[in-house]
Amino acid sequence: MGVEIQVHVNGKSFQNEVDPRLLLVHYLREVLGLTGTHIGCETSLCGACTVLIDGHPVKSCTMLAVQADGAEITTVEGLSSLPEAGGGLHPIQEGFWEKHGLQCGFCTPGMMLAAVGLLRENPSPTHAQIRRALDGNLCRCTGYQHIVEAVEYAARKLRAHKR
Amino acid sequence: MATAAKATKYVGKPIKRKEDPRLVQGIAHYVDDLKLVGMLHMGIVRSPYAHARIRSIDTTKARSAPGVVSIVTAEDVDGAIGPVPCGAMIPDMKPAPRPVLATGEARFVGEGVAAVVASDPYALQDAMELVEVDYEPLPVVVDPEKALRKDSPRVHDVHADNAAYRWELEGGDIKKAFKQADRVIKVHLTNQRLIPVAMEGRAVLAQYDRGDNRITLWSASQIPHILRTQIAAMLNFPEYGVYVIVPEVGGGFGSKLNVYSEEALACYLAMKIEKPVKWTEGRRENFLATIHGRDQIADMEFAVKRDGTVLGLRAHFIADLGAYFQLLTPLIPTLTGLMCVGPYKIPNVRAEITGVFTNKMSTDAYRGAGRPEATYFLERGMQAVATELKIDPAELRRKNFPKAKEFPYATATGLIYDSANYQGTLDLALKKSEYKKLRREQAAARKSKTGRLMGIGLGSYVEICALGPSSAMPSGGWESATVRIEPTGRVRVLTGSSPHGQGEETSFSQIAADLLGVTMDDVIIVHGDTSAVPYGIGTFGSRSLAVGGTAMYRAIEKLRDKLLKIAGLVLSEDPANLVLRNKQIVSKRDPKKSMSFADAVGAAYTAKALPPGVEPGLEATHFYEPTNFTFSFGTHIAVVDVDPETGDVKLRKYIAADDCGNVINPLLVEGQLQGGIVQSVGQAYFEEAVYDDQGQLLSGELADYAIPRASDLPWIETYNTVTPTPVNPLGAKGVGEAGTIGATPTLVNAVLDALAPLGVRNIDMPLKRERVWKAIREATAGPSGRPRRAK
Ligand code: FES
Ligand code: FES
């Protein structure tokens, strides 16, 4: 009944037999114990569960674990091991800390991964572009303005890093 | 006073939060992240009917489903779990206790009917669908005005009607005020039902240890101690055997300031099965069965002089309470009554509230809790007065504000406003928004042929914060702190406050470090663990810093005095001349006389040479009882453009000028304001809990209930003035709810100001495109040739 999958999560390889109906977010949280990826709705509306799949932000509650077979996944726990983090906090994590981009922190992992996805495609986004890119990620605490500033902070830092 | 503000290494600075590193790395733990050996999962089968008799429940099929461990219904828990507690007492109130599982009848959609426990969440979902409930639908009442009619179906058979209570308050001479008035201006307004939508839903994990006869309950709660007491009472279990732990909480906004049936059920089932039981609320359940907020209707009459002076206010509020009482359900609307005169000198007032039962989820404390309603009604009223009397809304407000020197100011509703300068925040908002320029731009737009509808909205508010003196609070309004300086010189603060995003680990550390002359890293703030922390009240009502912070401040003072006494003996110096600074205790007169903080702490523990009467050790507890509430205030200004073709509202600019007293950390204050204002944007423009006439929640998912997204918002500018409160030594008032209180009327007034030339006087919130469009169409003779409607 179980289906064999192999995934690379935060640079490590995992092989598991999973129930075909297991959601990817449950696989990450319950099977791998990576609880930094949160669940805010399970209906692909809130973005709390956003992870990077092959470099692109994806809501991990919209996907089955079996569909992720062979994929390269980055969760919040893996942000600081990305090359641009330089061994410390990733610039986006730093940005959220510096700019008070989080309050309760529940939306934050998903927000940060959506932002990393944006910055890979557009290293110098305008405020409007940041806001649009984060429209699939809901935050009830911050009112978003500090999140916009956090993403700008990370963009600046990442651009400097590239130079 | 304000000694805390004087020593300024940390206090008053925009310090980055201590809690963030764990949160941004995804290594913090919310309840759903916890896993215990043998843990089972609980699910609640909920009523699909708003009102129905439960004829029978057949669990046979479900019981034999794979993974199912236990199923209970009302019958099984009868006598074993008491009803959900309600802490509010209003004279002649009809009781409406909520059984933990629907008993005999279900009275709203989403009411729990059975609890199922299974080995894994997927098996649980399958099994819940197999529970067969035979319902006999009963007549439903959803509209609170209809619920008050004689022929309305009754929510509770045992009561003669749906009026849960009547509450009234009178101050001054209301009859005389209306006799003396030049004009009486009336408004009829609705403050719609909202759903708090914390991004983390509720979550509960309960464990029972038979050897110790102990229940440990992890819950996403704002009130760990009250929860402990109430769970013990509901289960008739000794309170000393109940341990509540609140780990990281993903937002609350009042929705977790409660005691819920699921918390008691999980404990009961964990005891029964002797395995840990977890329940994690789904988003749909969060919409249906976590408390809602607002839902009031107001009829107000303003007695005014021609020059705009408001002589009196008569108000009647209908408050939709839902089907049952949760912890504070009946109490919340009374805050609307208490705050109905807002920041104005309205010497004569009469307020009446009718609380009503309907077949809906209970309303209770949603961010602001009663005060956003009061402020919305009042500020909409003031807008109407300004429009009717053709007075600039800013001038109308200025005319009716008490002057700064009149504080402390006693209101006709019986409150004492501590300190304020309302003109100050009004002027600041006017200046920062370039108000005169905006009005000129508006005048030009109105004259031009483009049909551009520009609106400028004002809202002034006063927020009752720092709840509050115990005399006014059902559970007591104090807060506790224990401060322990450990032998190595590190400082452990145990606070009864229970933050869930507000950043008190940071702000409390700032205060503690400054008072003791240590670094913030030397301080740890512990909260949310009832076995570690002395009994506390919790985090809500903009109270944690002003009340909980003051408790800590007082406890630290005791320790500081003790340390200085000990150092005084060692240094042969009068303790009054000693100060704590940079981990040293130094004499102000003679800087050569100094010793390290660590040595003084060490001396307290080794206890070889203590001054007479000084006990060894360094621990102090303070239960702080505030003498009054504190009252934050401000004025907000919003600028909108309304598209006459589509009804689209574009929020162009938002300026907030607030005063919450002394600011401990401007970053955190700004965060609270930004978040609150955006929740107001939600109420003003997007959000509404819509029930159909059969009591089905139509906006029961994030897809249908639109909370603001990032791109819905303009840049929000916040400014502040500082008027310290004399009520507490920090001079801090509170800011958690200011945004949701001040912003909603501001945002609506802006749209109405834009539409004023068309004669539009009211649109009910939320001001969705179609409502605005319809109002424009009805006000102008549209292509359909419909006549202009008289307003
Ligand atoms: S949990 Fe996946 S989008 Fe909300
Ligand atoms: S920080 Fe709480 S939901 Fe975003």
User: What residues of B are in contact with residue A46 (Cβ under 8 Å)?
Assistant: 199, 283, 702
Which of B25, B678, B707 minimises the CB distance to A80? B25
Indicate whether residue A139 lines ligand 2 (CB < 6 A).
yes
Nearest Cβ partner for A105 among B28, B32, B197: B28
Ligand that lies nearest to the alpha carbon of residue A150, given by its number in the listed order? 2
Low-confidence stretches of chain A (pLDDT < 70) are 163
In which element (H, E) is residue A153 found? helix A145-162
Contacts of B25 in chain A (CB under 8 A): 36, 76-77, 79-80, 89, 93
Q: Please, which pLDDT band fits residue B776 given cuts at 50, 70 and 90?
A: very high
The owner of tokens 């409607």 is B789
Name the token pair of B301.
């009459």
Single-letter amino acid, residue B318 = I
B757 falls in which pLDDT band (50, 70, 90)?
Answer: very high
Partners of residue A22 in chain B, C-beta under 8 Å: 122
Q: d(Cα B635, Cα B732) in Å, to the nearest integer?
A: 19
Whether B25 and A79 lie within 8 Å, measured CB to CB: yes
pLDDT in tens, B74-120: 999 999 999 999 999 899 999 999 999 999 999 999 999 999 999 99
Q: How far apart are CA B526 and CA B546, in angstroms?
A: 17
Query: Pick from B21, B249, B674: which is nearest to A97 by CB?
Result: B21
Preceding amide of B766 cis, omega within 30: yes
Write out pLDDT tens, residues B224-278.
999 999 999 999 999 999 999 999 999 999 999 999 999 999 999 999 999 999 9
* Cross-chain Cβ contact A139/B199 below 8 Å: yes
Nearest to A99 by CA among A148, A60, A66, A51: A148
Position B782 scores a pLDDT of 54
Q: What CATH number was assigned to the domain covering residues B3-14+475-624?
A: 3.30.365.10
Query: Is B502 near chain A, with CB under 8 Å?
Result: yes
Contacts of A145 in chain B (CB under 8 A): 674, 713, 715-716
* Ligand 2 pocket mutation, candidates A139, A146, A148, A151, criterion most atoms within 8 A of CB: A139
- Closest chain B residue by Cα to residue A106: B250
Structure tokens at B161: 């009607």
Give the pLDDT mean for B588-605: 95
Closest chain B residue to A95 measured between Cα atoms?
B24
Residues with Cβ within 8 Å of B693's Cβ and at least 6 positions away in sequence, in order, are B140, B142, B143
State the DSSP H helix or E strand holding residue B598, giving kind and residue range, or none if neither: helix B597-606
Contact A43 B703 (CB under 8 A): yes
- pLDDT the model gives residue B577: 96
Encoded amino acid at B770, one letter: E
Hey, which bits of B367-411 come out as E strands?
409-410
Q: How high does pLDDT run on average in chain B?
A: 95
Amino acid at B228: R
As a whole number of angstroms, the distance between CA B620 and CA B558 comes to 7
pLDDT in tens, B24-75: 999 999 999 999 999 999 999 999 999 999 999 999 999 999 999 999 999 9
Residue B789 has pLDDT above 60, yes or no: no
Tell me the CATH number of domain A3-78, given options 3.30.1330.10, 3.10.20.30, 3.40.50.150, 3.40.630.10: 3.10.20.30
pLDDT at B2: 36
Residues of A in contact with B501 (CB under 8 A): 103-105, 141
CA A97–ligand 1 middle distance (angstroms): 23
**Alpha helices, H only, A107-144:** 108-121, 127-133
**ipTM strictly over 0.95?**
yes
* Cβ-defined contact of A145 to B715 (cutoff 8 Å): yes
CB of A105 closer than 6 angstroms to any ligand 2 atom: yes
- Taking 50 as the threshold, does the pLDDT of residue B785 lie above it? no
Closest to B559 measured CA to CA, from B495, B492, B659 = B492
Residue B720: HSE in the Cβ half-sphere, 13 Å Cα cutoff: 21
Residues 83-122 of B with CB under 8 A from A: 121-122
Kindly report the nearest CA distance between residue B284 and chain A, in angstroms.
Answer: 8
- Residue closest via CA to ligand 2's atom 4 equals A139
- Going by alpha carbons, the residue nearest to atom 3 of ligand 1 is A44
Cβ-defined contact of A130 to B716 (cutoff 8 Å):
no
Distance CA B133, CA A65 (A): 34
Dihedral angle sign, alpha carbons of residues B259, B262, B266, B269: positive
The secondary element (H helix, E strand) that includes residue B455 is strand B453-465
Return the residue of B nearest to A148 by Cα: B710
pLDDT band at residue B475 under the 50/70/90 scheme = confident
Q: How confident is the model at residue B4 (pLDDT cuts 50, 70, 90)?
A: very low
AA identity, residue B65: A
pLDDT the model gives residue B774 = 96
Rounded to an integer, the average pLDDT of B591-596 is 95
* Predicted confidence band of residue B6 (pLDDT cuts 50, 70, 90): low
Q: Which of B27, B492, B409, B63 is nearest to B248 (CA)?
A: B27
Main-chain dihedrals φ then ψ at residue B216, nearest 5 degrees = -110, 125
**Ligand 1: which of A26, A27, A59 to mutate, most ligand atoms within 8 Å of CB?**
A59
Mean per-residue pLDDT for B335-351? Answer: 96
Contact B520, B10 (CB under 8 A): yes
pLDDT for the residue numbered B173: 97
Q: How far is CA B531 from each of CA B240, B246, B266, B526, rounded to the nearest angstrom?
A: 9, 11, 20, 11
DSSP B495-528: ES---SSS-HHHHHHHHHHHHHT--GGGEEEEES
Per CB-CB distance under 8 Å, the chain B contacts of A77 are 25-27
The pLDDT of residue B544: 85
Mean pLDDT of B465-488: 88
Task: Check B199 against A40: CB less than 8 A apart.
Answer: yes
Please, which residues have CB within 8 angstroms of residue A157's CB and are 6 or more apart in sequence? Answer: A91, A94, A95
Distance from CA of A50 to the nearest CA of B (A): 13
Mutate-to-test residue for ligand 1 from A29, A42, A138, highest number of ligand atoms within 8 A of CB: A42
* Strands B183-194 and B293-304, sheet pairing: antiparallel
Whether the Cβ atoms of residue A128 and residue A143 lie closer than 8 Å to each other: no
What is the predicted pLDDT for the residue at B17? 97
Ligand nearest to the CA of B678: 2
Model confidence pLDDT, tens digit, residues B660-691: 999 999 999 999 999 999 999 999 999 999 99
User: Are B250 and A106 in contact (CB < 8 Å)?
Assistant: yes
As a CATH number, domain A82-162 is 1.10.150.120
B109: left (phi over 0), alpha (psi -120 to 50) or beta: beta
How far is the C-alpha of B706 from the C-alpha of B189, rounded, in Å?
22
* Spans of all domains in chain A: 3-78, 82-162
Detail the DSSP E strand segments found in B551-667: 578-581, 584-587, 594-596, 619-624, 630-642, 649-659
Mean pLDDT of B614-640: 95
How far apart, in whole angstroms, are the C-alpha atoms of residue B622 and residue B548?
Answer: 10
CA atoms of B409 and B415, how far apart (whole Å): 8
Ligand 2 pocket, residue A138 CB under 6 Å: no
**Residue to mutate, A41, A141, A147, ligand 2, most ligand atoms under 8 Å from C-beta:** A141
Residues of B in contact with A21 (CB under 8 A): 122
Nearest CA-CA partner of B295 in B735, B761, B697, B656? B697
A82 with A90: CB under 8 angstroms?
yes
Confidence class for position B781, pLDDT limits 50, 70, 90:
low
CB atoms within 10 A of CB B676: 28
Three-state DSSP state, B225: helix
Output the CA–CA distances (angstroms, integers) from residue B659 to A120, B742, B763, in the order listed.
41, 12, 30
User: Residue B449: its pLDDT value, please?
Assistant: 82
Q: How much distance in Å is there from the Cα of A140 to the middle of ligand 2?
A: 5
B20 touching A, CB under 8 A?
yes
Can the peptide bond before residue B591 be classed as cis, meaning omega within 30 degrees of 0?
no
A147 lines ligand 2 (CB under 6 A): no
Pairing type for strands B649-659 and B630-642 reads antiparallel
Q: Which residues of A touch B26 (CB under 8 A)?
A: 34-37, 75-77, 79, 109
From chain A, the residues in CB contact with B33 under 8 A are: 29, 35
B205 inside 8 A of chain A by CB: no
Query: What burial class does residue B791 get, using C-beta atoms within 10 Å of its C-beta: 0-12 exposed, 13-18 middle, 19+ buried?
Result: exposed
Over residues A143-163, the pLDDT tens digits come to 999 999 999 999 999 999 876
pLDDT cut 90: percent of chain B above it:
91
Choose, out of A19, A52, A140, A142, the residue to mutate when testing the contact with B (most B CBs < 10 Å): A140
Q: Given this model, what pLDDT does residue B496 score? A: 86
pLDDT-based confidence at residue B784 (cuts at 50, 70, 90) = low
Three-class SS state of A113: helix
Q: Which atom of ligand 1 lies closest to the CA of A38?
A: 1
pLDDT in tens, B606-616: 999 899 999 99
* Nearest ligand, CA A143: 2
d(CA B233, CA B236): 5
CB neighbours of B111 closer than 8 A, spacing ≥ 6? Answer: B46, B47, B102, B289, B323
Q: Is B39 exposed, middle or buried (0-12, 13-18, 19+ CB in 10 A)?
A: middle
Q: How many A from CA of A47 to the centre of ligand 1? A: 5
Contacts of A25 (CB under 8 A, 6+ apart): A37, A39, A42, A49, A60, A61
H or E segment to which residue B217 belongs: strand B214-219
Q: Which of B19, B32, B501 sits opposite A141 (nearest CB)?
A: B501
pLDDT of B5 reads: 42
Q: Which chain B residues have a beta carbon less than 8 Å from that of A97?
A: 16-17, 20-21, 24
Indicate if ligand 2 lies below 6 Å from the C-beta of A32: no
DSSP label at B732?
B
Beta-ladder partners of B137: B52
Q: Do the Cβ atoms of A61 and A49 come closer than 8 Å? A: yes
* CA separation, residue B770 to residues B236, B306, B765 (Å): 53, 36, 12
Closest-CA residue to A116 (of A65, A81, A67, A69) = A81
Residues pairing with B98 in the sheet: B84
Q: Which atom of ligand 1 is nearest to the CA of A136?
A: 3
Give the model's pLDDT for residue B787.
Answer: 42
